[in-house]
Amino acid sequence: KQEVTQIPAALSVPEGENLVLNCSFTDSAIYNLQWFRQDPGKGLTSLLLIQSSQREQTSGRLNASLDKSSGRSTLYIAASQPGDSATYLCAVRVADKLIFGTGTRLQVFP
Amino acid sequence: SQTIHQWPATLVQPVGSPLSLECTVEGTSNPNLYWYRQAAGRGLQLLFYSVGIGQISSEVPQNLSASRPQDRQFILSSKKLLLSDSGFYLCAWRDRGYNEQFFGPGTRLTVL
């Protein structure tokens, strides 16, 4: 059974820091991995999608890497801003379904 | 471009009352559709998914059911709500030929 874990569960940092959020999964047989952002009381916003054959994807200040063989992904956020404050979720796709981690709650203070 | 709608945005219902939440997707055809629940302090739980009209897969046996009467319409229902049905309900879609999954704005359900 696929299990997805995210560490840390919560993170509070001053503005301007570079951050690394971690995601691990137990079964390497995945189609892809997707990172999402969720603001309080809102739906999920897709940030990055990494196919199983890819090693990383970049969008603006965000960079996500994937090491499928070791069951790990990281989301790197450069030069964090207060607007980055949200919960970040990773999810792996298995067949037609996404299996989600429990998220990292990020707070960036000025 | 594609958009996904959910309604209502918030709902307060008494225990034992029926439920109907609706989700529609625009700008695509024959998508995979999903219903998730996010309970307070817990992760996202997949409830149902559908790969076509009338095709529903249930992930968790519970007090809820789902239907897909049209290609881009997905409905979540209950005949009698329980307190434990409270939560944030999210609908999502994914194109067959494209891997990224997109979510709707969600419905906050409170059962009293």
pLDDT band of residue B61 (cuts 50, 70, 90) is low
The whole-angstrom distance between A66's CA and the closest CA on chain B is 16
Residue B106's closest CA among B18, B7, B19?
B7
Measured CA distances, A53 to A22, A50, A65, A67, B89 (Å): 19, 8, 11, 10, 32
**What ranges in chain B are assigned the alpha helix state H?**
none
Q: How many CB atoms lie within 10 A of CB B107?
A: 22
Q: Kindly state the average pLDDT of the residues B63-68.
A: 94
Phi, psi of B62 (to 5 degrees): -165, -165
Rounded to a whole number, what is the distance in angstroms from the first to the last CA of chain A? 41
- The chain A residues in contact with chain B (CB within 8 A) are 31-32, 34, 36, 41-46, 49, 51, 89, 91, 93, 96-98, 100-103
pLDDT greater than 70 at residue B21? yes
pLDDT at position B39 is: 85
Residues 6+ apart with CB under 8 A from B90: A43, A44, B6, B35, B36, B37, B38, B44, B103, B104, B106
The strand pairing partners of B58, in sequence order, are B48
Strand runs labelled E in chain B? 3-7, 10-13, 19-26, 32-38, 44-52, 55-58, 65-70, 73-78, 87-94, 101-103, 107-111
User: For A68, which DSSP code?
Assistant: G
Mark yes or no for CB contact B106/A43 under 8 Å: yes
Mark yes or no for CB contact A93/B99 under 8 Å: yes
pLDDT at position A77 is: 97
pLDDT at position B69 is: 95
CA quadruple A57, A78, A84, B42: dihedral sign:
positive
The whole-angstrom distance between A8's CA and the closest CA on chain B is 15
Question: Helix (H, G, I), strand (E, B), or coil: what is residue B85?
Answer: helix
pLDDT by residue for chain A (110 residues), tens only, comes to 899 999 999 999 999 999 999 999 999 999 999 999 999 989 999 999 999 999 999 999 999 999 999 999 999 999 999 999 999 999 999 988 899 999 999 999 99
Count of A-B CB contacts under 8 Å: 49
The whole-angstrom distance between B97's CA and the closest CA on chain A is 12
Q: Which of A42, A51, A89 minimises the CB distance to B99?
A: A51
Q: Tell the burial category of B47 from Cβ atoms under 10 Å away from its Cβ (0-12, 13-18, 19+).
A: buried
Measured CA distances, B1 to B25, B27, B35 (Å): 11, 6, 22
